[in-house]
Amino acid sequence: MVRLLGGRSFSYPSNIVINEIMYNAVADQDGGDWVELHNASSESVHMQGWAFKDGNPLHSFIFEQGFILESGDYLVLSTDIPAFQNIYPDVEPYTTELGFGFTSMGELLSLMDSSGHVVSTVYYSPSEPWPTEANGMGPSLELSHPELEVSYQQSWMASTGIGTPGEMNSQYQYPCLPSGDLNQDGIVDVLDIVQLIDIILQADEPETDIICLADLNQDGSLDVLDIVMMVDIIISA
C-alpha cells in the first residue's frame, strides 16, 4: 500500500524501479497504457516532487505532496483509470491519471527524484531483441528482477496473460550474479582469464550459465571489457 507522509523521515533508496510496462494492449482487453513502479528497497520512500517522464519534454507526471511508496509495494500509473479498473478490477492505481500515453514505436521512460536525478530509466522497443509479444498481443513488458539493470533489454520479458499490475511479475527470476569464477574453483585467477578468452574466440554461443558468470559488466555480451574487469578483480584481491 501507499500512503501520505505522517511525521516520519524517509530516505531515498535508488532501487525504486520501472517494473512493468503496458504500451500496446490487445484490443479486446485494453485497459489503456500503464506503467508499474516497484519499491524494491527495505525502506519507505517519500516521493513528493518526483517525476515520471517519457521522451516528450512536455510530458511530465509529478507526484503529489506527501506521497510515499512503502517498502516492497507496487504502484501503477495509468492513462485511463476507468478503463484500467475495468480490466484489472482488483488493482487500485494512483489516483491521478498520467496525462500521456506510450507509443508502440518504442520510447524512453524515466523516473526522476525531486532533485532531477534519474532513479530508473529504460528505452523499450517493439522490435527484437525486445519481446515482440508486448506489442498488441496481450502481454506487458516485465522486469525479470528488480536488481537487474533496468536499461538493458535482456532484463525484460513478456508477461504471461495480460500483465500483473500491482503484484510480483509473472516472469520474476532471481538474477544471475557474475563472479568471474568460470571454472568454479572458488577464486578468480589467470585460469579464468584464459577460459574467458577461449570462450570469446569460439564461434559457438556459450552456455547461459557461463555468460552469467563471465559478463562482469552485465551488457549482455562477452568481450575485452569483461577481461579487463576480471584482471581488475584479480589485482584488487
What pLDDT sits at residue 212?
77
AA letter at 183: N
- In the block, residue with C-alpha cell 532501487: 15
Final residue before a domain boundary, out of 138, 158, 178: 158
* pTM, full prediction: 0.73
Together in a domain, 207 and 148:
no
Together in a domain, 20 and 97:
yes
What pLDDT sits at residue 6?
37
What pLDDT sits at residue 12?
40
Domain with 222 in it:
190-236
What pLDDT sits at residue 101?
97
Say how far residue 4 (Cα) sits from the centre of its chain.
25
* Residue 90 CB-density burial (10 A; 0-12 exposed, 13-18 middle, 19+ buried): exposed
Task: Give dist(CA 182, CA 191) in Å, integer.
Answer: 9
* Residue 177 CB-density burial (10 A; 0-12 exposed, 13-18 middle, 19+ buried): exposed
What pLDDT sits at residue 136?
96
Total structural domains within the chain: 2
The list of the chain residues with pLDDT below 50 reads: 1-13
Together in a domain, 89 and 13:
yes
pLDDT tens digits along 123-142: 999 999 999 999 999 999 99
Together in a domain, 84 and 29:
yes
Final residue before a domain boundary, out of 113, 137, 158: 158
User: Which DSSP string do the residues of 42-55 spell out, in sequence order?
Assistant: SS-EE-TT-EEE-S
What pLDDT sits at residue 14?
54
pLDDT tens digits along 38-58: 999 989 999 999 999 999 999
17 phi, psi to nearest 5 deg: -120, 150
CB atoms within 10 A of CB 69: 24
